[in-house]
Structure 1
Amino acid sequence: MKRSVLSRLHTNGIYYITGTLLLVIGVPLYQGLVLLPQGYSVALASAEGGAFAPYLFWIGNHLGAFLGYRALSIAAFAALFSLPFTLFRIIVAQEILGGGDIELVAEEPDEDDHPQQEDSLESSEVTGEPRETDTEEASSTLSWRGKGFAVLAAWTGMLAIMLYFLGTLASTLYLWIVSSGFTEHTAPPGGFSTISGTATIVTYTIGGGLLAMACLFFGAMIVRSGLKLWPGIWVAFGYTALAVAAFLSISAVAVASAPIEGKAALTTPAILLFALWALWFGVMLVRLKPEP
C-alpha cells in the first residue's frame, strides 16, 4: 500500500473516530451536564406528548445550550461524510487484489503445464465436471456484480449522511426562528407539527433507510467473500454491518409510523449502534500499516 494512500486513510480514520466519539460520548455527556440540569427532559417529554409550546419556550430561553447540542450532532455527521466512499475503495481494492492473483496465474502459465491443462480440459468434457476457466469466468462475474452493489452502497451511504446533516441543520434553524421571542402563553405557529414531522421523516426515515441499505450492501460484500479474502476482524465487521442495517431499518419504519414517538424510542439507539460500527472502522483505518 502506498504511503500517500495510507496517510489519507489514517487521516480519514481520525475524522471518523472524532465524529463517532462526538455521537457516542460528546452528545450524551452534553445532555447530562448541560441540558438536563436546565429542564430539557421535561420540555422534550412535553413535545413528545404533542404539547410543543413548553418545548419552544424552553428553546427560546436556553438557545445557546440548544444550539451547542445540535452543533455537536451536525459536526459529527460532517466528520463521517466521506466514510461510505472510503469503505467502498477498500472493498473494491480488496476484490481487485483477490482477483488479480488469479488473473496473473491464468495469463502467465508455464509452458510445461500446457499438456496437463489440455488433459484436464478433455477430462472435464468427458466427466462433465466444471472447468477452471468456467470457474474463473463465474468469479469475475460475481466480482463485477459485487462492485455494482458496492457503488450503490457508497452513494446511498453518502446521501444518507447528507440527509442526516442537512435535516438536523434545517430543523435547528427552524426551531431557532420559531422559538425567538416565544413566550409561555404563545401558541405554536400553524403547521409546526407538520413541518417538524416532515423534517423528522426526511432525516430519520429516508436518511435512516438509505443508511440501512448502505450498511446492508457493505456487510453483504464483505461477508460474501468471507475469510477467503478478508481477515477475521473484517468479516466480523461485515456481520456487524448487517445487524446495524436491521436496527436502522426498524428505526426508519418506527419513525415513519409515528414521527415523534418513534424518533424518541428508537432513533437514538440506532444512531449509537451505527456510530459504534463507524468507530470500529475508524480504528481499523488508523491501525493500517504499510506493506513490508
Structure 2
Amino acid sequence: MKRTFLAKLQISARYSLIGALLLVLGVPLYQLFVLIPSGYGDALTTLNSTLRWINTHSFLFLGYRALLIIAFALMLGLPFALFRIIVAQEILGREEDEEAGGDEGEEIDEQGENIEHGEDAPAQEKEEDGDQADGMPSFAWRGKGYAVIAAWTGWLGLIFFAGGTLASTIYLLSSASSISPQGALTDNVAPLTGFFAILTFTVGGGLLALSCLFFGAVIARSGRNLWPTMWVTFGYLALTIAALMSGSAVEVAFAPTTGQAILSTPAILLFALWVLWFAVMVVRLKPE
C-alpha cells in the first residue's frame, strides 16, 4: 500500500482502537469499580428506581454515558477505512490476475473497440483512473455496491448509537433532576425513554447489523482467493455480529421501555472486539 494511503488508514485505526478499548475494558471496569458499588445494578430493575439512582448519582451516570459516547464517536472512521481496504485489496487482486494472464497484444475498451498496447487512452479515461488525494483511484467505488452500502450504514449506525446515547443521557438526567428522591413517581415520569432506546439499539444497531452483514459477505465471497486467512475469519465474525445486532434490534423494538435487551451487551462487546481486531491488523500493516 502507498505510504500516504496507509497512514490515513492507520489514523482511523488508532482512533478505532481507542474506542474499542473503551468498550472492552473502560466501560466494564467503570461498571465494576464505580457503578456497581454505588447500587447501579439494583437500580436497573425498574425505570423509577433508575431515575432515583440517577438523581443521587448524576455525575457517575454522566461519566458512564460519556465513555459510551466517546467510544462510538472514535469509531466513526472505521466503516470507510474498511471500505478502502476492501477496494484496495480487490484492485491488487485484479492487477495480479492481469499479470498472471500475460500480455495479449491488444485490449478491448468499454465500447468493444480494439486498442493496441502502448496506444494512449482517452483523456477522460486517464482522468478517471487517476488517484485521488487519499491515494484511492477515482473509479474505486464502481462495482462495489455492497461495500458502499456497508460503509454508509456503518457510519450512520455509529452516529445513531452515539447520538441516541447522548440524547437519552440528557433526557434521563433532565427527568431525574425534576423528581424528589423521597416522593412518589408516576409510571409516566419519563415517557420518551423507549423512543431513545429504539433510536439507539434498534435504528443504530440495525444499521450496524447491515454494515457487518455486507462487509462480512464481501470478504467471505472472495475468501482465500483474495484475502489472508485472518481476514477471512474476520469477515465471518462480522456475519456473526450482524446476527447478534439484528436480534438485539428486534428485542428492543418489541420492549423499548426495558432499555438494553438480553442480546445488546454481548452484541456490543463482540462488535468492540471485532473493531479492536481490525484496528490491530491495520496498525501493523507496513507500506510496500
Inter-partner Cα distance in structure 2 for 1:36 and 1:46: 16
**Matched residues in 2 for 1:229 and 1:70: separation?**
40
Could you tell me which residue of structure 2 aligns to residue 126 of structure 1? none
Secondary structure of the structure 2 residue equivalent to 1:265: coil
| Alignment gaps of 5+ in structure 1 | 48-52, 112-142
- Superposed counterparts of 1:68-217, under 5 Å: 68-103=63-98, 108-109=103-104, 147-188=144-185, 191-217=188-214
* d(CA) in 1 for partners of 2:261, 2:81: 31
Distance 2:101 2:89 in 1: 19
Larger radius of gyration: 1
The equivalent of 1:228 in structure 2 is: 225
* Residue 240 of structure 2 corresponds to residue 253 of structure 1: no
Tell me if structure 1 keeps the 8 A contact 2:194–2:258. no
Q: Residue 15 of structure 1 corresponds to which residue in structure 2?
A: 15
> One-letter code of the match for 1:79?
L
Shift of residue 77, structure 1, vs aligned partner = 0.3
Return the offset for 1:262.
Answer: 6.8
Q: Which residue of 2 aligns with 1:25?
A: 25
Q: Is 1:240 the counterpart of 2:237 in the alignment?
A: yes
Q: Report matched runs for 1:45-64 at 5 Å.
A: 45-47=45-47, 53-64=48-59
What TM-score results when the alignment is normalised by the length of structure 1?
0.81
Q: Deviations over 1:235-289 (max 9, x none)?
A: 0100111111111111111111112447242211110011111110001011101
DSSP-derived class of the 1:73 partner: helix
Q: Name the Cα RMSD after superposition.
A: 2.2
The answer to whether the 8 A contact 2:194-2:259 is kept is: no
Distance in 1 (alpha carbons) for counterparts of 2:163 and 2:186:
22
Quick check: which one's helix share is greater?
Answer: 1
The residue type equivalent to 2:62 in the other structure is L
**Aligned partner letter, 2:70:** A
Q: CA deviation at 1:150?
A: 0.4
User: How far is the alpha carbon of 1:100 from its aligned partner?
Assistant: 2.8
SS of equivalent to 2:286: coil
Q: Secondary structure at the match of 1:45?
A: coil
- What percentage of residue pairs aligned between the two structures are identical? 56
The residue type equivalent to 1:93 in the other structure is A
What is the alpha-carbon distance in structure 1 between the residues aligned to residue 156 and residue 64 of structure 2?
A: 23
Range that drifts further, 172-181 or 268-277: 172-181
How far the C-alpha of 1:95 sits from its partner, in A, is 1.2
Displacement of 1:45: 1.6
What is the alpha-carbon distance in structure 2 between the residues aligned to residue 96 and residue 173 of structure 1? 46
What's the offset of the Cα at 1:22?
0.5
* Residues 145/262 of structure 1: CA separation in 2 closer, same or farther (3 Å cut): farther
Structure 2 distance, partners of 1:146, 1:211, is: 22
Gaps of 5+ in 2: 107-139
2:130 corresponding residue in structure 1: none
Deviation, 1:2, is 1.8
Distance (whole Å) between structure 1 residues aligned to residue 95 and residue 187 of structure 2: 62
Work out which structure has the larger RCO, using CA pairs closer than 8 Å and 6 or more positions apart in sequence. Answer: 1
Structure 1: distance between partners of 2:268 and 2:164? 14
* TM-score, normalised relative to structure 2: 0.82
Instruction: Give, as a single letter, the amino acid of the residue that structure 2 aligns with 1:230.
Output: W
Residue matched to 1:281: 278
- Quote the residue 2:3 is aligned against: 3
Deviation string 1:114-139 (CA, Å, 9 cap, x unpaired) is xxxxxxxxxxxxxxxxxxxxxxxxxx
- Deviation of the 1:54 alpha carbon: 2.3
